[in-house]
Amino acid sequence: MKAVPAILLALLFAVELSAQLTYDRIRQAVREPGSWLTYHGTYDAQRFSALDEINIKNIQQLRPVWMYQVQGRHHFETTPLVFDGVMYLTDPPSDVVALDVRTGRPLWAYRRSLPDDLRACCGDVNRGVAALGDQIFVATIDAHVVALDMRTGRVRWDVEVADYKSGHSLTSAPLAVKDKVIVGMAGAEYGVRGFLDAYDAATGRRAWRFWTVPGPGEPGHETWSGDSWKRGGATTWVTGAFDPETNLVYWGTGNPGPDFIGDVRAGDNLYSDSLIAVDVDTGALRWHFQFTPHDVNDIDATEIPILIDADFRGRPRKLLLFANRNGFFYIFDRVTGEYLHARAFARQTWAKGLDAKGRPIPNPDTVPSPKGALVYPDDDGITNWFSPSYSPQTKTFYQNVREKGGIYFRNEAVYQPGRMYLGASKRAVPDEEPWGALRALDPLTGDVKWEFRVTTPPWCGLLSTAGGLVFSGTMEGTFFALDAESGKLLWRFQTGGAIWSNPISYQAGGHQYIAIAAGSALLVFGLPASESR
């Protein structure tokens, strides 16, 4: 009987508060630090929490408050959303669960029935949901977008984005902006042609599609030889950022297809490995920058653009910071797209350097060959989908990095729908022990201020907080906090499972919490005072 009042209370709490998550609330998420309203927390993707109850003085007392175990078996990569007393997370591959934030008890679950012949190159994973109005949106591994009733998890609409049988899949959290849901897609390893979509949140009708590989007659089409554009990849599989003032979504794109063979697609292969700035109302491309033209090392530029306003070289500017999987840290003017600066922040050998416009000077020795070509980083990248964080308090850009090379042996790539379209096999570097680090970068130069080394290259994103902390995790399951100024280790907890996710922070009952997915559990941490609520 004891459970009944708790559930009733939780339901009342949810019904009372979960009226609407308006666009205005999301746009002004920074004024609502107790919530986590988008995949990145805020549209600028800084992944910074202004909460400071948990801080460098009391972090030693941080302890688990509750856990939730998912049913999914693959990497648990979700970033939860939290608002109005409810946490919304994805249970891989494509389920959604709503939890009461006070107790961790489920309020509803959406369980998706999936076909048994899915084609996802890199795991049946999902990184989270978007929310807008009274709906929750999930992008599914079988390439649908589904809108759920926020109160019940019941399906409002379910639309097919693309045919999963040809290798399309959706793994990232959508981004809800104004009245639209922006959806990125994956499948470059199967020779799909990439795009970024927007759907009307109310009806599910597609509002626009921006093809990241231009078709005949479109600018950029000439950067693909023959009909290679049809299988050009350039997918959009990590959630981007949005600036309400420029009205642009900023989104990274992935590798061209086939991943490791360039001669069948002579040219720069726009807009693969690029940053695209797209008008959110129309889907029109405003500007772009290609980081890695004619990539043959599978170094997708699907990382997170972080938007900050700062004085750059004596002038206030709207900047976009981008720590790329290719090993370079870039700074742009996000209004005009002007390239301002870049520098390497980890070991890379694929480029001999960058020219004055940021275009790389390729190193021909790193092109996959039948004899094998050694390249740094390997195709998992210096970084990958996991999130960086920017603290306006310390004015520091935090990034987890992977120091690891690979040897690539060229083979054949023959396109057939639903089959891998790659062109190389890979070997580890003999006697090399890969390692990782959390690096603190100067956001205006890319210089490394300090680093905290970890044994194994990480797959964990970061959270910085106004409490002077940076949170991260390891492949061996330790969730830990560093002093955001110095990089000194302040706290750690062994979760018991590898951490493939991004931490968040939120407030419930007047107290701050930190949440992280690890192994197959979502863990929530708080201070002792928070337990007597």
Partner 1 sequence: MSTTSWLLVLQMTVAIEPTARPKVTAQEVARGRSLFEAQCAYCHGADGDGGRGANLARPALRRAPTDEALFRVVNRGVPGTSMPGNAMSARETWQVVAFVRSLGRVKREPLPGNVGRGAQVYDAAGCAACHTVRGRGGPDGPDLTDVGARSSPAYIRRSIVDPQADVPVGFKQIRAVTREGRRMTGVVVNEDTFSIQFRDAAGTLHSYFKEELAEVATDRRTTMPGFRERLEPTALDDLVAYLVSLEGTR
Query: Which parts of this chain interact with partner 1 (CB under 8 A)?
Result: 72-74, 115-124, 165, 189, 409, 411-414, 416-420, 422, 424-428, 453-456, 474, 476, 478, 480, 492
Cα(273)–Cα(298) distance, integer angstroms: 9
Cβ 86 to partner 1 shortest distance, Å: 27
Diameter of the chain measured on Cα atoms: 70
CB closer to partner 1 out of 69 and 411: 411
Rounded (5°) CA angle 41-47-53: 90
Nearest approach in angstroms of CB 409 to partner 1 is 5
Q: What's the closest the beta carbon of residue 519 comes to partner 1, in angstroms?
A: 13
Q: Of the two residues 150 and 523, which places its CB atom closer to partner 1 in the complex?
A: 523
Tell me the closest approach of the beta carbon of residue 61 to partner 1, in angstroms. Answer: 19
Q: Which amino acid is at 204?
A: G
Are residues 212 and 243 in contact, defined by beta-carbon separation less than 8 angstroms?
Answer: no
DSSP state of 216: T
**In whole angstroms, how close is the CB of 231 to partner 1 at the nearest point?**
14
Contacts of 493 (CB under 8 A, 6+ apart): 62, 63, 64, 478, 479, 480, 525
CB of 427 to partner 1, least distance (A): 6
Q: Which lies closer to partner 1 via its Cβ, residue 199 or residue 479?
A: 479
Closer of 53 and 124 to partner 1 (Cβ) = 124
First to last CA, the chain: 21
**What's the DSSP call for residue 233?**
B
Q: How far apart are alpha carbons 237 and 293 in whole angstroms?
A: 19
Between CA 341 and CA 329 the distance in angstroms is 8
Task: Name the nearest CA neighbour of 468 among 45, 53, 60.
Answer: 53
Rounded CA gap, 192 and 420, in Å? Answer: 10
Copy the structure tokens of residue 434.
Answer: 């890969």
* Residues noted as catalytic: 298
Residue of 11, 234, 236 lying closest to 106 (CA atoms): 11
Which two structure tokens, joined as six digits, stand for 417?
A: 């729908």
Shortest separation between residue 109's beta carbon and partner 1, angstroms: 18
Residue whose tokens read 């959406």:
110
Nearer Cβ to partner 1, position 83 or 421? 421
Write out the two tokens for 36. Answer: 């986590």
CB of 15 to partner 1, least distance (A): 35
3-state secondary structure 426-474: EECCCCCCCEEEEEEECCCCCCEEEEEEECCCCCCCCEEECCCEEEEEC
Query: Nearer to partner 1 by C-beta: 162 or 196?
Result: 162
Q: Whole-angstrom Cα distance, residue 66 to residue 70? A: 13
Residue 44 or 259 having the CB closest to partner 1: 259
In the complex with partner 1, the residue whose CB is nearer, 112 or 426, is 426
Residue 264 CB: number of other CB atoms within 10 A? 15
How far apart CA 93 and CA 49 sit, in angstroms, is 28
